[in-house]
Chains A and B, each alone.
Chain A
Amino acid sequence: MDAESLLLSLELASGSGQGLSPDRRASLLTSLLLVKRDYRYHRVLFWGRILGIIADYYIAQGLSEDQLAPRKTLYSLNCMEWSLLPPATEEMALQTSVVTGRFMGDPSHEYEHTEMQKVKDGEKVFEEEVVVQIKEETRLVSIIDQIDKAVAVIPRGALFKTPLGPIHVNRTFEGLSLSEAKKLSSYFHFREPVELKNKTLLEKADLDPSLDFMDSLEHDIPKGSWSIQMERGNALVVLRSLLWPGLTFYHAPRTKNCGYIYVGTGEKNIDLPFML
């Protein structure tokens, strides 16, 4: 959710029970403004929070003018002092994939993971236990990246592709119409397209290149990994990810208000097929 319209956004997203206490709200409004100034971001998003056992991580993201450019991620434990996280890499994701369970809430906490490694000693090959230490900060980076890639959502038309390539916020976006708001195909993944290149020419024929430059949600695997609800009559559409429970996307149809917030444990719901 946009840092500037934080209060309205929080109110809209509150249907899932994920709010912020008044002091957190106030401090976020103050500190995100400073973050925007200090890091010279074009736009600052309040991304959400990851619930730890001892403390929670509050996450914010800074966007440059090109909306799809790699985002900078910051975290804070008290909503005032923000620290920049390093960019996520494939290696990190691989490394942290062995860690399960809850976050502790201490960035310097180290998870210990023992794994068997084959060690060659001369001609003999024997297995040896190696203890790998993984910092929680690394895991945090990797989880945020995974969530962003998997379930960050933007309605169709909110961004447009400029002729020169960069993707900008569409000022003429006036919200989805009611009929569009009920369809998953009107929502896109807020990330570089992956599936789009694999589409056939026939499928691409109907796409508008200036708007349809991202992957739409409707082809997500497994089918049914989104819950789409109209709340308050039709005044609010809420998408909840079932794959990453805790991610809520809200959009008030026919207005510009939209955004997403993640409040959860930072664990993927791998039981989804059993639960549908």
Chain B
Amino acid sequence: MEDVASLNQEKENQELEEVVPPWEDMTAVSSKDPEPELLQPFESELGMESESQGRSSTPPSPQATVGTSLDEVAGPGALSPHFPLKEGSSMPSPLALDRQDFAAPSPAQSDKKPSVIPESVPQHSDHLEQSSDAMKENTFQQSQLPELHLFEEPREAGHNNFKQKELRFDFLEEEDSNSYYDLSQPEPGACELVPSMLDIAIQNAKAYLLKTSSSSGLNLYDHLSNMLTRILDERPENAVDIIENISQDVKMAHFSKKLDTLQNENEMLPAYEIAEKQKALFLQGNLEGADQELEEEIVENCLPNVMESAFYFEQAGVGLGTDETYRIFLALKQLTDTHPIHKCRFWGKILGMEMNYIVAEVEFREGEDEEEVEEEDVVEERDNGESEAGEDDEDELPRSFHKAPQAIPKEESRMGTNKYVYFVCNEPGRPWVKLPSVTPAQIVIARKIKKFFTGRLDAPIISYPPFPGNESNYLRAQIARISAGTHVSPLGFYQFGEEEGEEEEEVESGRDSFEENPDFEGIQVVDLVESLSNWVHHVQHILPQGRCNWFNPIQKSEEEEEEEDEEEEEKEDPDYFEQEVGPPLLTPISEDLEIQNIPPWTTRLSSNLIPQYAIAVLRSNLWPGAYAFSNGKKFENFYVGWGHKYSPDNYTPPAPPAVQQEYPSGPEITEMDDPSVEEEQAFRAAQAATELPVEENEETEEEEDEEDDYDQ
């Protein structure tokens, strides 16, 4: 290494010397007379310098830097960096020359140099002769070196052995001025001690150039140096013109052994995984075989025509992309094939933070509902246990009178908010997950909170009124609310089922089921756009209680009811509920409540240009993301959004519950003063008056008192 370094320096010097002969004289004149006793230390220092240069490649001086970089770049052949040196900076060359030259004959280096120089002879034999002459001539300039050396050392330590070719020019200029400055003024500049921004920039640039490409295993730095080596070796006439070819040749000549015996493992990207799953969607038709086709045709009608409604929604400017819709379509087919589903519908998409939910609304075939045991029963049991314990009279201490507010039971499946079952999946192709049925408590709490969905069904919902359940319950509650608010149909499409309506007479709002009107003749699209009263809700309104059908919470506890009958004032108790009534089924949406002067619905024609084929588009302002369309005969509802209700004011967390009043200070709380002596005496006197007739009794009382004392 040392040899190579010094060799390069030698060559450099030769080159330099050749180029700038006039400078030799100049520097010779300008420099002071060498002091003989200083000479020796310099030599040794220089020897050390070149050693360290060889070892760590730390360039000790600007000129040597060139040498080092050279040797890094390409070894003997790469003389290209001299070109900028020749043209741009002739100033430092004499110095470099001097220094290197004098190093050669010095005793410290003498054992190495002679062996080195001959090697370079074949290449530059003509130069060598000249330079060896020059060497001897220029040794007198040694005296310059200590200053230069001292001056350069600290800063050189700063930049690690790199030099970028493009930047060398600037760099050398800088060095020029330094060395020049050095000649006239031996004081080292303090500012040079800190590595400058330029150094860092160079460092970064070199690091970038040294970045190894993953496909070819080359880096640009090596490639450039190889190219330059080759150019300098071959010295073509028109190097600039054929540089591309040279680059290509060098690359082709590059012989790469595969050193790595490890096999590359194929990346398992999530893209492949989901593609594999979606493949199943596309293949499901083929797998089932021909014999099932007849059966399918019969059952097929439970699958909605997603693409058709997607087409209409596209006219309206909503909906997912075509391919995503088709995948969802296939996923719905998969769902209907694997579950006993009577009716199915693409409900919409709820956006989440990590993943989204695709929601399907299904109705199971009669009698095939999957029953599940809910946790709620457990809760109820616990409540009962508490109330039983409360009836125990043996314990003297009073127990808590606080009773949990009456748990309102959830509605039966196929009824009210649980009329439909909802399946969700994160992406078409992933498994469908059935959402649990919703409880009124969940709806009530969900109205008070506003949370983003994460996309994981088991994520906890952390909110101020504690939400009973995890994200799947919250999702289900929001779906119920959105459905109740935004599922609308053109007037007349549905009518009340007659027989069922009679059955349900006991319920105040009367009819909660409907059927398709076979005589529906369609409504003019223009009418649907112009009047909101042509649209009706076909999902039941959810009462503040959290159910669609009123449940009287007081009825349940029968003993209490009797008590209440006795005491009329109980009716003013906050526990008493007036029956909540909402708008009945099939109420026109023109009766929906306004949101602070904002109409709850916006209607428009999908196209003003071709109104005869346009469809009516309905957009909910209350639930941004909820849309409905109708072309007169067909209609569909769709939701895509974050699953939140709109409000012009910002969300306000519910106020903390009222603080319980303390027991009022009354006769049960206050005590009388201790009986005073006068009172007791008066009492005795009074007793004495009555004592005579009931003397016997008193004796027995006294005895009892004594017994009590003993007990204590």
A interface residues (Cβ-Cβ under 8 A, vs B)? 11-12, 14-24, 51, 53-55, 78, 100-102, 178, 205, 224, 227, 229-235, 240, 242, 245, 264-265, 270-271, 274-276
Q: Can you list the 7 inter-chain pairs with the closest CB atoms, starting with the nearest? A: A233-B271, A17-B640, A14-B321, A271-B651, A21-B317, A227-B353, A233-B274
Which B292-339 residues sit within 8 Å CB-CB of chain A?
314-322, 324
Cross-interface CB contact of A233 among B272, B316, B596, B641, cutoff 8 Å? B272
How many interface residues does B have (CB within 8 Å)? 55
Give the complex CA separation of A224 and B650 in angstroms. Answer: 19
CB distance from B548 to the nearest CB of A (A): 27
Enumerate chain B residues within 8 angstroms of A235, measured Cβ to Cβ.
Answer: 271
Known: A19-B317, A265-B624. A54 touches B602 (CB 8 A): yes
A19 to B311, CA, bound (A): 12
Task: Determine whether B598 belongs to the interface, using a CB cutoff of 8 Å to chain A.
Answer: yes
Residue on A with the closest CB to B639? A17
B319 contacts which of A17, A51, A231, A275 (Cβ < 8 Å)? A17
CB distance from A182 to the nearest CB of B (A): 11
Quick check: A19 and B274 within 8 Å, CB to CB? no
- Identity of the chain A residue whose Cβ is nearest the Cβ of B606 in the assembled complex: A21
Which residues of chain B are within 8 angstroms of A55 by Cβ–Cβ distance?
Answer: 604
Query: When chains A and B are docked, how far (Å) is the Cα of A91 from the Cα of B639?
Result: 38
Chain B nearest Cβ from A43, distance in angstroms = 25
B interface vs A, CB < 8 Å? 200, 269-275, 314-322, 324, 349, 351-356, 427, 449-452, 596-599, 602, 604, 606-610, 619, 621, 624-625, 640-642, 644, 646, 648-651, 653
Of B314, B427, B596, the residue contacting A21 (CB under 8 A) is B314
Beyond A15-B321, A21-B316, A229-B355, 8 additional pairs, beta carbon < 8 A: A17-B349, A19-B318, A23-B607, A53-B598, A227-B354, A234-B271, A271-B651, A276-B452
In whole angstroms, how far apart are the Cα atoms of A22 and B273 in the complex?
33
| 24 residue pairs from A and B, CB less than 8 Å apart | A11-B322, A15-B320, A15-B324, A16-B640, A18-B318, A19-B320, A22-B314, A23-B609, A78-B608, A102-B598, A227-B351, A227-B352, A227-B353, A233-B274, A234-B271, A242-B452, A274-B449, A274-B451, A274-B651, A274-B653, A275-B450, A275-B452, A275-B651, A276-B452
Chain A nearest CB, measured from B450 CB (Å): 5
Residue in A closest to B599 when the chains form the complex, CB atoms: A53
> In the complex the two chains form, is A101's CB within 8 Å of B314's CB?
no
A60 and B588 CA atoms in complex are apart in Å by: 38
Residues of B within 8 A of A100 (CB): 648-649
A217 to B608, CA, bound (A): 40
CA distance A78 to B607 in the complex (A): 10
Residues in A with CB closer than 8 Å to B649 are 100
Q: Are B275 and A233 in contact (CB under 8 A)?
A: yes
Question: Which of B608, B621, B651 has the most CB atoms of chain A within a 10 A radius of its CB?
Answer: B651
Query: By the criterion CB–CB under 8 Å, are A233 and B598 in contact?
Result: no
Chain B residues near A24 (CB-CB < 8 A): 317
Minimum Cβ distance to chain B for residue A234 (Å): 4
A21 adjacent to B641 (CB under 8 Å): no
Q: How far is the CB of B224 from chain A (nearest CB, A)?
A: 19
* Residues of chain B contacted by A53 (CB below 8 angstroms): 598-599, 602, 621
A interface majority secondary structure: loop
Cβ contact within 8 Å between A20 and B317: yes
| B598→A229 contact, CB < 8 A | no
Cβ of B450: which chain A residues have Cβ within 8 Å of it?
271, 274-275
B322 contacts across to A, CB distance below 8 A:
11
B624 contact set on A, CB distance < 8 A: 51, 264-265
From A21, A234, A240, A271, contact of B351 by CB (8 A): A240
A12 and B651 alpha carbons, distance in the complex (Å) = 32
Whether B650 lies near A270 (C-beta < 8 A) is yes
Query: What are the residues of chain A within 8 A of B602 when measuring CB–CB?
Result: 53-54
**A230 adjacent to B356 (CB under 8 Å):** no
User: Are B354 and A11 neighbours in the complex by a CB distance under 8 Å?
Assistant: no
Q: Which residue of A is nearest B638, CB measured?
A: A17
List of A residues within 8 angstroms of B356 by Cβ: 15, 229
Rounded to whole Å, the gap between the CB of A31 and the closest CB of chain B is: 13
Residues of B within 8 A of A17 (CB): 318-320, 349, 625, 640-641
Instruction: Give the residue name and chain of the A residue nearest to B352 (CB).
Output: A227
How close is A107's CB to chain B, nearest CB, in angstroms?
A: 17
Q: How far is the CA of A53 from the CA of B600 in the complex (A)?
A: 9
Assess whether A275 is in contact with B451, with CB atoms less than 8 Å apart.
yes
Asked if A19 and B351 make an inter-chain contact with CB atoms under 8 angstroms apart, the answer reads no
A12 to B323, CA, bound (A): 11
CA distance A255 to B427 in the complex (A): 23
* A227, A229, A230, A270 interface centre (most CB from chain B within 10 Å): A227
Complex contact B321–A11 (CB within 8 A) = yes
Q: Decide: B596 and A101 in contact? CB cutoff 8 A.
A: yes
What's the Cα separation between A224 and B354 when bound, in Å?
Answer: 11
A242/B608 in contact, CB under 8 A:
no
User: Are the CB atoms of B650 and A271 closer together than 8 Å?
Assistant: yes
In Å, the complex CA distance between A240 and B642 comes to: 11
Shortest CB–CB separation between residue A275 and chain B, in angstroms? 5
Q: Considering the chains assembled together, what is the distance between the CA atoms of A205 and B203 in angstroms? A: 12
Complex interface: chain A residues within 8 A of B451 (CB)? 274-276
Nearest CB in chain B to that of A21: its residue: B317
What residues of A have a CB within 8 angstroms of the CB of B355 in the complex?
Answer: 229
A14 touches B270 (CB 8 A): no
- A residues less than 8 Å from B641 (CB atoms): 17
Q: How far, in angstroms, from A274 to B353 measured CA to CA in the complex? A: 14
Residues in B with CB closer than 8 Å to A234 are: 269-271
Query: Which of B452, B606, B640, B648 is the one whose CB lies under 8 Å from A102?
Result: B648
| CB-nearest residue of chain B to A242 | B452
Of A22, A231, A242, A275, chain B has the most CB atoms within 10 Å of the CB of A275
Closest chain-B Cβ to A136's Cβ sits at a distance in Å of 14
Q: Which residues of the other chain, B, contact A265 by a CB distance below 8 angstroms?
A: 624, 646
